Structure 1
């Protein structure tokens, strides 16, 4: 072939290559480049033709395409991550758009980096053609000859440069397409993460990273909640979002020839881990579009994990008790509902029981020892119960000091016995002393129990077990009470009584009677205001039929206001008839707990223009142990205003002497139980003697209540008693009758 024919043949080949690239689809670019390299290499009888792509900022070069002649060993896998330092002259030429033809490597300076790179590879002649892009350099296209030197004609150099521009355009098309696919994938993943249910987070993170890895040909792309220690240390040190890591820092993921990148997954407040990315090329990790995509995915993961945590926290707040960590009522109901849906364990045929527990007098201990101590009692209570449960059972904190427990039995023939034994274990465990912060707390528990087959719904279980609990408390607390139908009947009656009492308060159905208090001369020296309920259907009811229930339900506060108001009106009426002695009124400690109680009493006395000295407040000794501090403050404030106090039921409480010493008490009422039995039992007589002796030493008056016989009166008189109250003198009387009784006993003041 003549030289002219050779040139024409070369030109035609270049034209065909150009036409092929113009018609090539983006998905066929890789194949077209390989075919073009083969044609060009064969034309020159070359050993290799190839393409190197450069990283951003021209730091590294990768051999990305290669054609080898027959018998020539491929080296593409060995020519990755080639540092471009030391080749500044070549880079300047390529940047300027010039090809670099080398006719003979042996003609290069002996110690030049270029010769040091080429000669060991057995290359004798080569040409390196720039692959330009706008304001940058994508890489270079080269041809190697190993057998002999070759003088590159300028015409060939010019045409090869045209090929280089065509290949550069194709690679840029491929880059653009890859960028578009990456952006499209990341956008699609972003939508998926935004709408992602939190129970699918982990699975979606893995599948998303797999899709990116497949697109970009990562060897590893994983999210790690707990990265290797070496990576964690680097995260703490570098304080950057993205950083490269030496492969030896990640021996489980990277080889010496690969490149590794770490992308922190963090929100503003928390670090959730890291994405570990490993690829064969460092060039990839210099690509801004890839780094931005990885950072965006890391942010999406962090945001989703933060949302998951928030939703879990919200769910925990919705379904779990913050103090004890136990499920709350809502979770307990969900558990029972799921249990009831099990084919073999429906509420109708299930073997198990529900317990409704209430710590006895917990509020008293909480008030006396502090809320922190009370919290620790509740936490230990929860743990004691939890340790006694099987894996498929549940304990929940309902509210305050109340707990719910569901026990299950797998032995139908002995279910009741097994459940009863386990209930006793829980009961005994909660009666063991609590040793907390240097204090020993002796608690007790009331328990209401219902078997699961006694109810038709979850709500009915809760209702009936609570009824059983109230029955246990009504019997004195510290008991286990099993639900019986009569309990429900009693509960219905209590509910009716509650409604009737509320109506009675609103409609003024309470009336006040007055029982005289007498001196040793048979004269009236005072009276006690005693409430009666004028029931619209049942007639006049004594306090024994409603006061205790009113105390439990705190309706006593409203009743107490009615009595106090009526007593003040009676004082006015008595004064109008010439009687100026004091009227005693029983005040519930629940009234004293009400905000503004002292101010309310003082305002009432002022509004009715009653001297405070005319009012005496009676408090039972046993009631004051609930909250001594509150009661003491109220008593001192009212005493300073002129109101006097009488300690009712003295001797039946727990700390009588302490109360007498610390509280502003002017009068003691000897409890009727001692009065009734002092003639029969020497112990009661001895107590009565001690009370009078103590009162004399403390300069207090004593009224003996419940005096019904002449013998009792004589015995009390011999003990030094000066004041009496009881049926021996008079029963409680309506105000008009009491005024008449007072007149007949000659105590009018003029």
Structure 2
């Protein structure tokens, strides 16, 4: 109906042009012709142009997304139909002459016109094939981009949201490496079939390449509902697969991006869903929605990344030190914490710039800077008679870097600091990506005499399994369990069990985030070995830390509640 309507309008426009030149049909000449020659070429061309502009132009206008220009598919169709129009225009004089002289011969033109129409359909079919993934038959990336544009226009018009889910199979490369690419292709066919059947109503799936798929939700209620759908799809794709009697489990990770919350165009939706998907891979959380604060590729964060690199080169990043104190008052050690005061932004939260460093490849440089600065300070303290161990946080990327253990040992030797004066704080995530390399690096570090501490215990995955595999001598209970210890019986029980478990393995237990005397007393009663937090001292610059250590060197440290009145 749409094509027929615009064709009628186009033909009417062409007839009006011919009528303006006096080409009006009569009983004798129903075609409105007569006296054709070279002089009539302009009016013929103008009539054809009127038909194309009004008919085809109106159709393209109705089909193109508002404000976006013609999609790629529409542009290719425009070129094809333009060529067809030129061909028809070339044959039009012959049709006119035959129609005027021998109308009975007009049916003969059906043969070339049918051939032309068939060529047009074949070209259209080939164009559609270019929008399909040849392996799975799902639409490909080009189709997805065009479809996203259409969905965003529709959502904007009705004031709704749209969502894009990017799904990637974890460790699929190992299937290709172990079983071969043919087996991998067969598994991808099963995955694509599962995805088709698991799609909610109205959703559309595409394969972007390799083991990466996308699902478009033209209408989404909220980030929560889109995330729930993504979790359902991930669960479906992660169920066991059968390959010639071999049962395989391929876990999947998904990222979610919403229009207009996270992006306003198709390319932005793809990029931000991709950022969220890789965040889900890093966190092993399965599904993550896009968060701008975790995206290191925004212009603001890219500018901050450049400023951080310059600050490291200029030694503008500082280390502050927070004490760890035993319940007998003795200082158990210090933790080196990074602080950065930006010349324009002021104090930048450590979580913000450390996250940027971890996702940008700057983390090894930041770790080298912190290690170098901390060991130089330890050497100065030792010259002053202050022999206190210092802990430095290292990321999983550091542990997975080849030669990391050797570089730490070389720095210790260069500064003349014994290995026992350095403690490296790690998290359970070091074992998630490459357990073998991580285990080798940690074993080499402990072989050099460097002590290891497990930070943020209880906030990761499979903590007990990892605790058994990590060569650590200290365990730090995360502040999330310590904060409500005095008022929450469940948190108190978790802390008690953790302390008992750690002691049974011969580990020292340190509680983070201690801020009041009641928490101090409860931790002491539960058998905790040491505490760290504002109750003891906030993180201090090196000069203040030196004064703090000297002031407590003779009498140790005591909880304010235990001090005599007036002291």
The verdict on a shared fold, with TM-score over 0.5 as the criterion, is yes
CA distance in 2: counterparts of 1:731 and 1:554, whole angstroms? 30
Offset, 1:461: 1.6
Contact 2:453–2:475 under 8 Å retained in 1: yes
CA distance in 1: counterparts of 2:542 and 2:294, whole angstroms? 40
Q: Is it true that 1:540 corresponds to 2:347 in the alignment?
A: yes
Q: Is it true that 1:467 corresponds to 2:272 in the alignment?
A: yes
The alignment of Structure 1 onto Structure 2 pairs a total of residues equal to 408
Shifted more, 600-609 versus 473-482: the winner is 473-482
Q: Is it true that 1:358 corresponds to 2:167 in the alignment?
A: yes
Which of 509, 515, 530 in structure 2 is aligned with 1:702? 509
**Structure 1, gaps ≥5 residues long:** 1-311, 409-414
Q: Is it true that 1:438 corresponds to 2:243 in the alignment?
A: no
Which of 200, 207, 214 in structure 2 is aligned with 1:396? 207
Name the residue aligned to 2:71: none
CA spacing shift, 1:738–1:494, aligned 2, 3 Å: same
Q: Is it true that 1:428 corresponds to 2:235 in the alignment?
A: no
User: What CA deviation, in whole Å up to 9, does each residue of 1:28-66 have, x standing for no partner?
Assistant: xxxxxxxxxxxxxxxxxxxxxxxxxxxxxxxxxxxxxxx
Name the residue aligned to 2:330: 523
CA spacing shift, 1:326–1:607, aligned 2, 3 Å: farther
Name the residue aligned to 1:384: 194
User: What CA deviation, in whole Å up to 9, does each residue of 1:332-353 have, x standing for no partner?
Assistant: 33x4688899xxx799679997
Contact 1:395–1:405 under 8 Å retained in 2: yes
CA distance in 2: counterparts of 1:508 and 1:590, whole angstroms? 22
Offset, 1:539: 2.2
CA distance in 2: counterparts of 1:748 and 1:614, whole angstroms? 22
Q: Within 5 Å, give how 1:443-458 maps onto structure 2.
A: 443-450=252-259
User: What CA deviation, in whole Å up to 9, does each residue of 1:620-664 have, x standing for no partner?
Assistant: 234533333222111101111111101112233333332332221
User: What CA deviation, in whole Å up to 9, does each residue of 1:692-725 have, x standing for no partner?
Assistant: 2223322221122222222222222222333222
User: What CA deviation, in whole Å up to 9, does each residue of 1:164-216 have, x standing for no partner?
Assistant: xxxxxxxxxxxxxxxxxxxxxxxxxxxxxxxxxxxxxxxxxxxxxxxxxxxxx
CA spacing shift, 1:490–1:387, aligned 2, 3 Å: same
How high is the TM-score relative to the length of structure 2? 0.60
Q: Within 5 Å, give how 1:55-94 maps onto structure 2.
A: none
Which of 460, 475, 499 in structure 2 is aligned with 1:692? 499
Name the residue aligned to 2:307: 500
Q: Which has the larger radius of gyration?
A: 1
CA spacing shift, 1:641–1:358, aligned 2, 3 Å: same
Name the residue aligned to 1:597: 404
Shifted more, 584-593 versus 548-557: the winner is 548-557
CA spacing shift, 1:370–1:716, aligned 2, 3 Å: farther
Contact 1:511–1:531 under 8 Å retained in 2: yes
CA distance in 1: counterparts of 2:333 and 2:198, whole angstroms? 59
Contact 2:455–2:475 under 8 Å retained in 1: yes
How high is the TM-score relative to the length of structure 1? 0.46
CA distance in 1: counterparts of 2:434 and 2:506, whole angstroms? 26
Name the residue aligned to 1:714: 521
Q: Is it true that 1:332 corresponds to 2:141 in the alignment?
A: yes
Which of 533, 536, 555 in structure 1 is aligned with 2:362? 555
Offset, 1:731: 0.8
Structure with the bigger RCO (C-alpha within 8 Å, sep 6+) is 2
**Structure 2, gaps ≥5 residues long:** 1-125, 557-567
Contact 1:431–1:444 under 8 Å retained in 2: no
Q: Within 5 Å, give how 1:72-221 maps onto structure 2.
A: none
CA distance in 2: counterparts of 1:407 and 1:709, whole angstroms? 49
Q: Which has the higher strand share?
A: 1
Name the residue aligned to 1:253: none
User: What CA deviation, in whole Å up to 9, does each residue of 1:661-694 have, x standing for no partner?
Assistant: 2221111112222222221122222222222222
User: What CA deviation, in whole Å up to 9, does each residue of 1:597-624 have, x standing for no partner?
Assistant: 2222222222223221211111123453
Name the residue aligned to 2:549: 742
